[in-house]
Amino acid sequence: MKTVLAEHAGFCFGVNKAVKSVYELLGSDKDIYTFGPIIHNDTVVNDLSQKGVKVIDSTEELLKIRDSIVVIRAHGIPEDTYSLIEKNNNMLVDGTCPFVKHIHKIVRERSLEGSSILIIGSADHPEVIGIKGWVKGDSYVIENKDDAYAFLHDRDKPICIVSQTTFNLIKFQELVEIIKNKGYNVNVVDTICNATKERQESAEDIASKVDVMLVIGGRNSSNTQKLYSICKEKCPATYFITCLDDLNFDIPKTASLVGITAGASTPNNIIEEVQNYVRINF
């Protein structure tokens, strides 16, 4: 079976930086924790767990940690959580993606200047929760057209619109247009990272040309879910898998070309395993 791999797939710069920061700490005489899973990939998180790295899921758990190392995950955290990490003599290692930190700076500055902050993304996603935690005033989150049409705001107060870094670019533009058409005083900052844009465009291009499309990534990965949706629109025979073990279905006999892409939290070795298996066994 012939395969074609998306030009932009797998670990992005921010994820690679975060994961590397944890592996470099292994062997320390201090206990190592990450505030939330370092990335949305069970294979990586489980490997770190086997090496002794523990995951903290709440500020309540965080306050019980003392004299340890706490790594901030790639998605970032609210501003006030930084002081909680260092409260009990813990060493803080910041693995926040630089693109996410840039959004933190934008929303902090613009809100202090008097703007409301409108975040386009998933309200329950850790990156969005972190962004909201840097706003010094009003903040709102919308994710779809219904949210955008229902959004109401004081017309005399400016609005700064930012996006979750992994949001779908086309949908972001559609939602921004709806808000603009309401006549509000809007300033738009496109904060979808270049890696996300490139990955989505590359996946869409390949999906439009292949018989079968495989999208590899964590089930909780927002950017992988969006890749799947984009590919599914172009190629009905699109499958979401987390690793080689999920490749337990039959690819249609009529298929001659299989496309492969992967989310930003997918290690290269998993991508290579899937690609090699498809080449040899189908």
Statement: 2-10+194-281 belongs to CATH 3.40.1010.20: yes
Chain centre to alpha carbon of residue 176: 20
Structure token digits, residue 32: 């190592």
d(CA 262, CA 228): 9
pLDDT bracket for residue 86 (50, 70, 90): confident
The per-residue pLDDT of the chain, averaged, comes to: 94
Contact 229, 203 (CB under 8 A): no
Model confidence pLDDT, tens digit, residues 116-171: 999 999 999 999 999 999 999 999 999 999 999 999 999 999 999 999 998 988 99
Q: Which one of the listed residues 60, 79, 113, 127 is annotated catalytic?
A: 127
Euclidean distance between the first and final Cα of the chain, in Å? 5
CB-based contacts of 12: which residues, under 8 Å, 6+ apart? 97, 193, 195, 196, 199, 264
pLDDT value of residue 248 = 83
3-state SS class at 95: coil
Q: Indicate if the alpha-carbon torsion angle 76, 241, 26, 196 is positive or negative.
A: negative
Characterize 157-193 residue by residue with b for buried, 16 or more Cβ atoms within 10 angstroms of its Cβ, and e for exposed: ebbbbbbbbbbbbebbeebbeebeeeebebebeebbb
For residue 280, the model assigns a pLDDT of 87
Domains 2-10+194-281 and 13-96 share a fold: no
Rounded Cα–Cα distance for residues 129 and 277 (Å): 38
pLDDT average, residue stretch 175-185: 96
Where are the domains positioned within the chain? 2-10+194-281, 13-96, 99-188
What CATH number should be reported for the domain whose range is 13-96? 3.40.50.11270
Is 177 part of the annotated catalytic residue set? no
Q: Which amino acid is at 141?
A: V
Q: Which CATH class is domain 99-188?
A: alpha beta
